[in-house]
Amino acid sequence: MSAQAVRAFMSIGEVLALLQSEFPDVTVSKIRFLEGEGLIEPQRSPSGYRKFTYTDVERLRYILRAQRDQYLPLRVIKDQLDEQAARPHAVPAAVPDAAPPVRLSREELIEAAGIDEETLAEMESYGLVVPVARRYDGEALEVARSVGALARFGLQARHLRAVRAAVDRETGLIEQAVAPLLRRKAPGAIAEADETAREISGLLQELHNALLRGGVRGVLGR
């Protein structure tokens, strides 16, 4: 086998070195975990060592960006990758690099969300949006736009307190699940806690959506 063919493959340590500049929290254990979950399938040498190609590395980049930037659970990411593999001639859907964080003033948020001052004040009074150092982030903008859209159906911020309360309870469940991981001092514990929180968050969203669909069918008598 030529030296060029040998270098077509990389060890797990070399892969880690390529990824850590963009993903400082990635570890060998993380890569092995993703393999165990079936998201990557590196080849093996006769002696059992993993052999990664540059295609494997790009697949890992896609997975890690989807987790970090889109907050997707691994099962959803795997479904996306499987769908791309089933359409080999399609252009792969790229996960964009992280955009700069949104930091809006009060006036900018009102304009971007298409709401008025009264609506924003009401949202703040019920804890739906909370400014940090008098600035609003991307999540606040999403909430403000959603509340503005719901107002067209007669639903005001005061009607959405139950949604805020449900989110707080779900956040408490996630905190309870990841607390033991955060107390650990082992390398990679924070990354594992982050991954666990993302997975639980995705599952809770799916559960919420399924229950809501069932509830709406009941309202409609179906």
Task: Provide the pLDDT for residue 2.
Answer: 38
Length of the chain, in residues: 222
pLDDT in tens, 144-184: 989 999 998 999 999 999 999 999 999 999 999 999 988 88
Of residues 5, 69, 65, the one with CA closest to residue 39 = 65
Question: If you ran DSSP here, which 8-state letter would residue 87 be given?
Answer: S
CA dist 64 → 32, 39, 117, 207 (Å)? 13, 11, 39, 24
| CA distance linking residue 170 with residue 208, whole number of Å | 10
Tokens of 60: 């890992």
| CA distance linking residue 206 with residue 19, whole number of Å | 30
Q: Is 37 helix (H, G, I), strand (E, B) or coil?
A: coil
Task: Provide the pLDDT for residue 10.
Answer: 87
| CA distance linking residue 42 with residue 31, whole number of Å | 10
Of residues 62, 54, 72, 71, the one with CA closest to residue 96 = 62
Q: What residue segments make up the domains of the chain, in order of their start?
A: 3-86, 106-155, 161-222
What CATH number should be reported for the domain whose range is 3-86? 1.10.1660.10
Report the alpha-carbon angle 196-197-199, nearest 5.
65
Average pLDDT over the chain, rounded to an integer: 84
Question: What is the sign, positive or negative, of the torsion defined by CA atoms of 91, 84, 209, 109?
Answer: negative
pTM equals 0.56
| CA distance linking residue 188 with residue 168, whole number of Å | 27
pLDDT in tens, 70-105: 777 788 888 888 888 777 555 455 555 555 667 889
Q: Is 217 helix (H, G, I), strand (E, B) or coil?
A: helix
